[in-house]
């Protein structure tokens, strides 16, 4: 496949922090609502950015303190290394004309992640769940990336660890790739029918350079 643009998801694709996010969210819910949420219940909320999820789950008087506590814990526990080294991403950047991000994360958590990993300058365009009316599994952000960069859909690839990524990519009419290395719902990811499947980041790198 000729690549004009790569669109990366973030959590579970660039950084191994999905399980951390789930545990943090479960802890906040238990402390503020006295409720225990299962992993599957948390994953069922995935799609909108975190701040929207908090406004949906918590009563108005608890949204701000709960969100601020979550952000502080997220920053404190965030790793400084991802699935790809900065050097690997820079090499990909030299090979592919455009390297972008579409994540369902909020702008705030996105900023923390890119700051911790030190990779913000690598990407030509970054869109979060806050930047579109409808986040994953809707393709709105992908349409925006395609139109903003005047991309050929046949040469654009969206890689992510969730079935929501694959659904969004297919709806947008672009190629999709499953990042199995970070998936927490592997069966759903495979059943969504990605065009490519990669078990490790190195497999994906080899594909990009093949």
Based on the domain organization, do 190 and 164 belong to the same domain? yes
Three-class SS state of 69: helix
Instruction: Give me the DSSP letters along 30-63.
Output: HHHH-----HHHHHTT-SS-HHHHHHHHS-HHHH
Quote the pTM value. 0.93
Based on the domain organization, do 117 and 198 belong to the same domain? yes
Based on the domain organization, do 12 and 56 belong to the same domain? no
Q: Say which CATH number the domain at 195 has.
A: 3.40.50.1000
Which domain range does residue 94 map to?
5-16+81-209
Residue recorded with tokens 């190195």 = 202
Based on the domain organization, do 155 and 204 belong to the same domain? yes
Tens-binned pLDDT, residue by residue, of the chain (210 aa): 899 999 999 999 999 999 999 999 999 999 999 999 999 999 999 888 999 999 999 999 999 999 999 999 999 999 999 999 999 999 999 999 999 999 999 999 999 999 999 999 999 999 999 999 999 999 999 999 999 999 999 999 999 999 999 999 999 999 999 999 999 999 999 999 999 999 999 999 999 999
Given this model, what pLDDT does residue 47 score?
85
Single residue among 77, 101, 124 that ends a domain in this structure: 77
């Amino acid at each position: 496949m000729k690549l004009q643009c790569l669109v990366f998801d973030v959590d579970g694709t660039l950084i191994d922090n999905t399980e951390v996010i789930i545990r943090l969210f479960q802890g906040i819910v238990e402390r503020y609502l006295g409720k225990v949420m299962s992993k599957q219940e948390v994953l069922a909320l995935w799609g909108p950015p975190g701040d929207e999820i908090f406004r949906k789950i918590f009563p108005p008087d608890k949204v701000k303190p709960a969100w601020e506590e979550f952000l502080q814990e997220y920053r404190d526990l965030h790793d400084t290394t991802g699935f790809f080294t900065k050097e690997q991403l820079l090499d990909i950047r030299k090979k592919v004309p455009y390297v972008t991000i579409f994540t369902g994360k909020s702008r705030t958590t996105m900023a923390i992640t890119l700051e911790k990993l030190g990779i913000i300058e690598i990407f030509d365009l970054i869109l979060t769940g806050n930047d579109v009316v409808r986040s994953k599994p809707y393709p709105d952000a992908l349409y925006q990336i395609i139109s903003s960069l005047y991309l050929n859909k046949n040469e654009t690839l969206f890689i992510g660890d969730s079935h929501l990524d694959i659904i969004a990519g297919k709806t947008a009419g672009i190629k999709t790739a499953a990042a199995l290395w970070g998936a927490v719902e592997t069966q759903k990811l495979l059943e969504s029918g990605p065009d490519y499947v990669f078990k490790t980041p190195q497999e994906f790198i080899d594909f990009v350079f093949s």
